[in-house]
Chains A and B, each alone.
Chain A
Amino acid sequence: MDLAAIFSIEVVGAIATLVLMSIGLAVVFGMMKIINLAHGEFMMLGGYVAILATNRFGVPIWLSMLVLAPLVTGLFGVLVERLLVRHLYGRMIDTMLATWGLSLALVGIATMVFGNTTVGISSPLPGFAIGRFQGSGYTLFVIAVAVAVLAGLWLLFRFTDLGLCARASMQNAAMAAALGANPGRIYTLTFGFGAALSGLGGAVLAPVSGVIPTIGASYIAKAFITVIGGGSAVITGNLAASGLFGAVSQAVTFATTPVFGEVALLVAAVLLIRLLPQGITGRFFKKSI
C-alpha cells in the first residue's frame, strides 16, 4: 500500500517533470509553429544561472531558481529571437536547423566556459515518509511548480489582454494584425516567454538531474516528442501528452528498468503520432487553449 502511494507520487512526478521539460517548447510551437531545438540548451542555461547565483553569489536558492533563472533565460531568448529566428518566420524546417546550430554552439560555449566540473546544488527540501518508505520531497515541489506554471499560463491566456492577443495571433495571425495587434512584438514576447519557461524548467530540475554542458541533449528529444504529440493547443496538449508519456514511461520503469521506460515512451510516441498525426489536440479538445 505504501509502495503504491510512493509509486503514484513518482508517476505524477514524472508527468510534472515532462511538463516542465516541454512547456517552453510548447508555448513557442503553439504560437509561432516553429520548433526551437535550442530549447534543451535554454534549460541548461537556466540550470547554470540557478547554480551560479546560489553558489557563487549567495542568492537564496528559491530566488535564483524561480526568479533569476527564468529572467536571464527569457532575456537571452528575446536576443535569440531578434538575431536569428526573426529572419526565418514561416520556415519551420529552417528554424529547426538554425536553432539546432545554435544549440551546438551553446553546448560548445558552455564546455569552454564552465568546463567539466561545476558544483551542483542539492535539493533544498527534506524527504517525507509514507509508512516505511521515503519519498523525495523535491518531487512534490516539482509537481507544485508544474501545476503553478500550467495554471498561470491558463490564467494568462484566458484573462489578460496579452493572452487574448496571443490566442488571436495563434488562430489567425493576419487577422489579429489587421485588428491592431503587433505580430512582431507578440512573437518576440512569446519566444522570450517560452525561453523563460525553459529556463525555469532547467533550474527546477537542476537539483535532481544536475547540470553539465551536454544535459540539453537528454531533454530535447523528449520535449520535442511531447510537444508534437500534444498538438497545437499549448496547455491541454502539453498536459495530455505529458500525462500519457510520463505515466507509460514511469510504469514501465518500475516494472523493469529505466531503459525500457525510455523505449516505452518512444514507442508510445510513435504509435500516438501514427494514430493521431496532428497530435492529441488535433483530434480531441480541439478548441482548448
Chain B
Amino acid sequence: MASRIKLLILVLLLTLIGGGLAAYKHVRLGIPMIVGDKPTEWLVEAKVTFIANGEPVTVRLSLPTVAVDREKGIGADARSAEYSFFVDPDPGQPAAVWSSDSLENNQALYYRVRFPARGVDSAGSVGERGEIPEPTDPGLSGTLRAAADSVVRRAREFSSNPETLLVGVFREIAAIEGSQEISLLKQHYEEVSNGDALTLLGIDLLNMAGVPARQAYAVGLNEVRGAQEPQLFVEYHDGVYWKVRNPASPASTLDPREWFVWNRGGDPLLEVSGGENSQVRFTTTRDVIPMDRLTDLKESGLIVSTIFGLPASERQVFRYVVLIPIGAFVVVMLRNLVGIATLGTFMPVLLALAMLEMDDLGAGLTMFVVIVASGLWFRFLLSRLNLLVVPRVAACVVIVTLLMMLLSVVSWHLGMRDGLKITLFPMIILAWTIERMSLIWEEEGKRNALLQVFGSLVVAVIAYLVMEQKQIRYWAFYFPELLLVLLAGIILLGRYTGYRLSELMRFKNFEEAA
C-alpha cells in the first residue's frame, strides 16, 4: 500500500508543478491557453554565421525598413554576446551593425523581426528622396550588347509602362524555348554570377530598357521549410515609386502573407569584415506570444530557461519533438486500455510523425501500404536466396529507398506534390516492419501478420489525429510543462489493472465449467 501512496503523491506533485507553471504563464505572463485567442504573429529570424579570423570584426546586415519604423506592431531585437551592437537607422537603408575586436572560430549572430500574421506590406511603394533615379547601364558589349538590345526592343513593343515591361522581360527569360539572344545572355550570366543568374539578367535588361531596377531580398513566410536562403527579388522604379516583385511570378504584386522583403534599396544584404565563409539564413515561425508583452517575457526566467530562450532556427527542431510524448501517450492508451496489437511498441508513433511531416493522412497511408506490400513481396523473393539476417534487412532498406523514390516520381508526375515531402519517413523502421511482418507471416500465419499491421496503422492514425490537433500542438509547444501532467497520466495508466477492451471480447465465450 505504501507504494500506492508514493505513487499518488508523485502524480499529484507532477500535476501541480506542470499545471502550476502553465497557470502562471497564462495568468501572469499573459500567454493565451487557447490557440487562436490572440492573433498570431510571424517571427522572422536572420542568422548570420561566419568564421572569424582573429582580426577586428564588423558585420553589417541590412535590415527591412519596417523593422526600424517601430510602428504597425513590428518588433525587432538582436542577440549576440561579445559584440557591440547598434542599428544604423538610415531610413532608406537601415542596417544592423555588430563589431568586436579579435574573435576566432565560428560565430553566429541573430536578428529577429516580428510582425502580425496577416503580414506587413514590406513590398509596398517607397518614394525616392531627391531626384528621380536614372537606370544604370550594365555595361555589356559586343554580341551580348546586341542580343540584349534586341530582347529589350521586342519587350518594348508589347509594353506601355514599367510593369508590363517587367512582365515581358521576365516571361521571355523564363520561357522554356527562348530566343537565341536569350540563351546567349543566359549562358553569359550563368558563367559570371554564382546563382540567380536569370534574375540578375532581368534586372540588367530592365535597366537597359530604361526602367531603374536593382536587387532586393525576400524571405518566404513558410514554417515548414526550416532555415532558408534569402530569395533574390527585383526592385524597380515605376517613375514615381520603388516597388518589389518576385521574378518567378512577375505579373502579380507580392502577397504580404507569403513574402517578407528583408532587404531593398540596393545595398548588399550582408557585409562581413574580419571573417570568412559568411552567410545568412532565415527561419520563419508563427508565434503566439503577444508583442507588447515581449520585453517582460524576455526577462522572465521561465521563458529564458525553456525552448523560447533558443534562437528560432534552433527552436524549429522542437516543433515535432514535443509531440512525441503525446504519441507515446496515445500508444499507452491504445495498448493498455484498448488492447490493440501493434508491430513494435513505438513504431506507430514514428509512422504518425512521418505522416505529420507529410501533412496528409491519405498520402501517408497509401505510401505505407504500397511500400510495405511491395517490400513484403521483395522480401519473400529475397528469402529464397537464404541471406543472413542483417544483410537481408539492409537489402530491404535499399528496396524501400528505391520504392520511395519511385513513388515520389510517380506521384509528382500525377500531380500530387505530397510525394516529395517524405524525407522523414522512417525507412529503417519500415524495413524492420517488413522483416518482422514476414516472420509473423511465416510463423503465425498471414491473419496475425495482417492484424498486427492493421493495428499499427490504426494506432498511427489515431496518434496522428491527436498530434495534428492545433490546440494540442499549441500546448505542447508553448506549455511544455504540461508534459509533466501527461507524465502523471502515463504513470497512473501504468497502474491500471482492469480489463482491456479487447479482453471483454476475447472472453466473451467464457463459460464457467459446472
Asked if A pairs with B, the answer is no
B residues contacting A by CB (< 8 A) are none
A residues contacting B by CB (< 8 A) are none
